[in-house]
Amino acid sequence: MEGSKTFSKDFMKRHNIPTAAYENFGDYEQAKRYLDSINHDIVIKADGLAAGKGVILPTTKAEAQTALKEIMLQKEFGSAGEKVVIEELLIGEECSILSLCDGKTIKSFPPAQDHKRIGDGDTGPNTGGMGTYCPADVVTSSEMSEIEKTVLIPTLKGMEKEGNYMRSHSV
């Protein structure tokens, strides 16, 4: 799912997995009009993999319009920016929960945190990752249980329902 943010967001919507409000766009003019129509802080994400740099956090509408143009028209991230997700900005601690699954069971690693922005105090542009530490003390055991219940298990079930999981094979 990491390879396409538009697929991931639509998958979450189809399977009632909590996610920030969003819209996907493959057309620059439609995305531009949408930016003009909203009044909340946003994140713009190139759809595909962009070496960890495909997420823009504009602070003004002008910055958002410039970022959109750079991504979709000037191809700042190559084909990764042919589509974009424009997503509601959520404020708070971010962590990654990496999990393995065999189509039936899930085993998660401890939560990790990535230092993404170049400046002290989480300021400046994203860098593609300045380093990660794990375990990160940002998820309690009860929160981890909630993540498993509301995100991981519905993801596994959704993948099975859509036929998008790998089956274990006997050798």
Q: pLDDT (tens digit, 9 = 90+) per residue, 34-58?
A: 999 998 999 999 998 776 678 888 9
Q: How confident is the model at residue 1 (pLDDT cuts 50, 70, 90)?
A: low
DSSP class of residue 122 equals T
Residue 169 lies in a domain: no
Whether residue 85 contacts residue 22, with contact meaning beta carbons closer than 8 Å, is answered with yes
Residue 145 lies in a domain: yes
At residue 130, the pLDDT reads 62
**72-101 average pLDDT score:** 90
At residue 60, the pLDDT reads 93
Whether residue 41 contacts residue 60, with contact meaning beta carbons closer than 8 Å, is answered with no
Do residue 9 and residue 77 come from a single domain?
yes
At 144, which helix (H) or strand (E)?
helix 141-147
Query: Is residue 166 predicted with pLDDT exceeding 90?
Result: no
Do residue 34 and residue 82 come from a single domain?
yes
What range does the domain containing 109 cover?
99-162
Q: How many distinct structural domains can be found in the chain?
A: 2
Do residue 11 and residue 31 come from a single domain?
yes
Q: Which two tokens stand for residue 88?
A: 């509601």
Do residue 12 and residue 79 come from a single domain?
yes
Interatomic CA distance for residues 41 and 60, integer angstroms: 8
Residue 103 lies in a domain: yes
At residue 31, the pLDDT reads 96
Do residue 83 and residue 30 come from a single domain?
yes
**93-105 average pLDDT score:** 86
